[in-house]
Structure 1
């Protein structure tokens, strides 16, 4: 089968498509023929060795991948999934979703709602699980609260704007002027163009501030909070992650099947809109990495094996 292979750090050109052995499922796994897989900032950072400060020694251990496709084989202990099922899921530390076939733990795979495209299913899981975890679990966003989303047009941000609105919050999105209309269409009550108004010049204060970019420090973020507010650092270095406490929250988002089911259903019923910047064929995987590397993708990039 074909798979994207990276055997050294470097620019997008180091990613190549090669013939590799097809996976066979272990007892607790399924093998899925991939229809769509997300190409994320995490992929780009690992390929280019651009890890958050302090994370380089363990970066490969925390990297995952999201995909959607059709079950081709099931392990002997797997129940509830069968060959031919349309499913979506994540690979966790095993990576490998940019391929014709991927083996994944059955507990990380859920059935895809009928009518939902594979592109939307694969794309929502990476940013959606992070946005959901931080807003719902870390901050407990409630109706009537105010939420600032820094990086509102990215894969996490586009989901965060919509989920915060779903939870009843008033949402302010921070993005470039060119993406302001999109962020407004996703539900933001107010949009700040960071090229005109840097965050350190924002006078308003918020109950929750979610940074999805990595340019907000605990000190600068706290200045944007109301008393009792919560600062969410979805992109934090090791020191920030270890020292986060009290009103500052950081750390990796878990990949839970129940969260995937919820997100997929929210997309299926129209509550969540998935923003796909561009879809590439697997043979163009280097171009997909190039697009992510620009830092200007809107929403998600996907590949079609």
Structure 2
């Protein structure tokens, strides 16, 4: 994500280095290539990428699973071969319709694809000034996980101060953000994870941590106002049992459904169940926008939120970074750095 130059050479500003997926597959299909540098459209910002986080969505787009995704992202190979969503870096240029950003600004945000490169163009509405007090590596780890957790708890779950929330699958990027956001919203937080994550989640502020290898949270007498499910490893019946009478079950995962349909059957079941029984059951589909990025930046500035980074890889090792996510059980975020 950095340019190399010397007094005897001239940098070609029309090209850049990028991580390219020429076909669907595991992390091993990724290649480092020199490609044409993009120019921003009127509503876009050209960003020099300093760090990019690896998300579950990147893994799905690389593997092309579930296969139904390929109807929108390319049948035989990725339509946008440069993958990557979350990033942080500096503004290089802005489109003529863009206000609020200028060259040199440190920014973070989320792009449809293209973050695993030296430069990328981002819609101004999916970008914000980088949070004060974070490195660009940490800022890159915040957009997808932070906005997913925020929209799941605040918007879909309608979480209020004094309520109780359970986060199932709390050790990943979204889960570690959700613990901190729920505490910032004034809730009592119970986190569910495996043994190796217990102490880390306590350090992030979880009031209670359940090790699922030794305890079944669905067998407890405790009831929760919001259950944020990031694992998709329990049935709807089990999850509904631990909800308060007016509680909300927020699903951001979905039970595995194979390579063809993935969680789509699960999503349909959730929506149908919500028509006939209570408590409320809802699907979370995160939508990036600047207002939420700015809200997260404010929490960072107040000392209430900080992304947890487990692993850092250089851009050239993007294949290893993505494969780490594909294999599962990551703690916090994985970040590519220049």
Give your verdict on TM over 0.5: yes
CA drift of 1:17 comes to 1.4
CA spacing shift, 1:206–1:182, aligned 2, 3 Å: same
Report the Cα offset of residue 198 of structure 1. 3.2
**Alignment partners' CA distance in 1, 2:207 and 2:46:** 43
Query: What is the number of residues matched between the two proteins?
Result: 301
State how 1:36-185 maps to structure 2 within 5 Å. Answer: 36-51=51-66, 55=69, 57-58=71-72, 65-92=85-112, 95-185=113-203
Map of 1:12 onto structure 2: 27
What is the deviation of 1:2? 0.9
Match of 2:305 among 272, 275, 297: 272
CA distance in 2, matches of 1:202, 1:57: 42
Point out where structure 2 has 5 or more consecutive residues left out of the alignment.
Answer: 1-15, 255-262
Q: How far apart, CA to CA, are the structure 2 residues paired with 1:281 and 1:167?
A: 35
Change over 3 Å in CA distance of 1:54–1:10 after alignment to 2 = closer
Secondary structure, counterpart of 1:20 in structure 2? strand
CA distance in 2, matches of 1:113, 1:203: 40
Q: Secondary structure at the match of 1:103?
A: strand
1:219 is displaced (CA, Å) by 2.4
- Counterparts of 1:166-205 in structure 2 under 5 Å? 166-205=184-223
2:281: which partner in 1?
Answer: 248
Structure 1 CA distance for aligned equivalents of residues 300 and 73 of structure 2 = 30
The TM-score normalised by the length of structure 2 is: 0.84
State the secondary structure of the residue aligned to 1:9: coil
C-alpha distance in 1, partners of 2:96/2:245?
Answer: 54
Across the aligned residues of Structure 1 and Structure 2, the Cα RMSD in angstroms comes to: 1.9
CA contact (8 A) 1:186 1:273 kept: no
